């Protein structure tokens, strides 16, 4: 599991200023040669576990990206090798950061097609629970989708729009879009509902829960609805928003969000499990999981 801090102090997976590094852009050297055998072993455990679960659950674009990148079970990927392949395909690169970075730094990296990835890996006792995104979440979860031109353009547009949203006081609204797409998004494909969000793709329990469990709602993605919807930061999502096609992301990348922000600025927000009469429901969840009195967070 990847636990997130409150949206008021963190933006999605990348915000926070606990320990500012020496470089203004917060990048650091990956220092790949310093990884220990144990750290490579943790990567192998995580990689093999997810690789068994994702076929038939992750979208075609994710699986192709994973296959085409220099990512395998035996060792933590080298960011330079990843960047070389990404540059050839979509013009992106992976840059190492020590952990969560401030909003403006995060947005600037995305706007310039640089994906900031934590270069550390979780400890053995953290295989299922982690407060900050590590190299497995960031690389295994996010980077395969950066091989897809649609996601590549969408994330760049998101970075470009981030500082504007901050200036307009709409960062919480934009963060919800990021959360329900890049992190916890589902897409409808010809053979069924599939995962593309990194927060799901890097979590063994949520991989199964998001597409197979009867508990969560699955609702067709609608921008203003998402902007007004809180999300779970400590557990599985109560609602997943589903794209009908990846081209929907390109449409989002070309929208002027300012009028949308203005419309939702004073509108009430929805709770994570709310279902509205106007929702295009693909599956109305039973809510069983979150109503259960004994569960203690996702494992």
Q: Which of 146, 166, 217 is nearest to 175 (CA)?
A: 166
The answer to whether the annotation marks 119 as part of a ligand binding site is no
Cβ burial 247-258 (10 Å sphere, 16+ → b, else e): ebbeebbeeebe
Backbone angles phi, psi at 192, to 5 degrees: 130, -175
DSSP3 helix / strand / coil % (the chain, rounded to 5): 45, 10, 45
Q: Is 130 helix (H, G, I), strand (E, B) or coil?
A: strand
The answer to whether the annotation marks 137 as part of a ligand binding site is yes
Are 25 and 105 within 8 A, CB to CB? yes
Are 198 and 180 within 8 A, CB to CB? no
Q: How far does Cα 210 stand from its chain's mean position?
A: 14
- Residue 294 CA: distances (Å) to CA of 118, 129, 205, 291: 33, 18, 17, 9
The answer to whether the annotation marks 125 as part of a ligand binding site is no
Backbone angles phi, psi at 183, to 5 degrees: -95, -45
Q: Give the integer Cα–Cα distance in Å for 109 and 118.
A: 13
**CB count, 10 Å around CB of 117?**
25
Binding residues for Fe cation: 137, 142, 183
Q: Which residues are annotated as a binding site?
A: 137, 142, 183
């Amino acid at each position: 599991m990847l636990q997130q801090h409150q949206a008021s102090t963190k933006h999605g997976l990348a915000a926070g200023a606990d320990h500012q590094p020496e470089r203004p852009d917060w990048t650091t050297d990956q220092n790949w040669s310093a990884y220990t055998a144990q750290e490579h072993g943790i990567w192998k455990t995580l990689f093999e576990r997810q690789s068994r679960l994702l076929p038939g659950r992750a979208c075609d674009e994710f699986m192709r990206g994973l296959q085409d990148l220099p990512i395998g079970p035996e060792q933590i990927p080298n960011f330079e090798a990843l960047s070389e392949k990404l540059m050839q395909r979509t013009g992106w690169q992976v840059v190492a950061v020590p952990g969560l970075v401030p909003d403006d730094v995060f947005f600037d990296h995305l706007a310039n097609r640089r994906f900031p990835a934590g270069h550390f890996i979780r400890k053995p006792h953290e295989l299922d629970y982690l407060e900050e995104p590590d190299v497995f979440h960031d690389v295994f979860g996010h980077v395969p989708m950066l091989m897809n031109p649609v996601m590549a353009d969408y994330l760049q547009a998101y970075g470009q729009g981030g500082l504007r949203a901050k200036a307009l006081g709409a960062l919480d609204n934009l963060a919800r879009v990021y959360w329900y797409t890049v992190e916890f998004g589902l897409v409808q494909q010809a053979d069924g509902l599939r995962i593309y969000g990194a927060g799901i793709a890097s979590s063994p329990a949520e991989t199964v829960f998001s597409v197979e469990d009867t508990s969560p709602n699955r609702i067709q993605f609608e921008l203003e609805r998402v902007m007004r919807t809180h999300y779970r930061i400590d557990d599985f999502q109560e609602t997943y928003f589903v794209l009908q096609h990846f081209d929907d992301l390109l449409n989002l990348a070309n929208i002027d969000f300012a009028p949308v922000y203005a419309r939702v600025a004073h509108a009430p927000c929805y709770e994570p499990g709310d279902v509205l009469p106007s929702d295009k429901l693909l599956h109305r969840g039973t809510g069983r999981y979150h109503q259960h009195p004994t569960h203690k967070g996702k494992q």
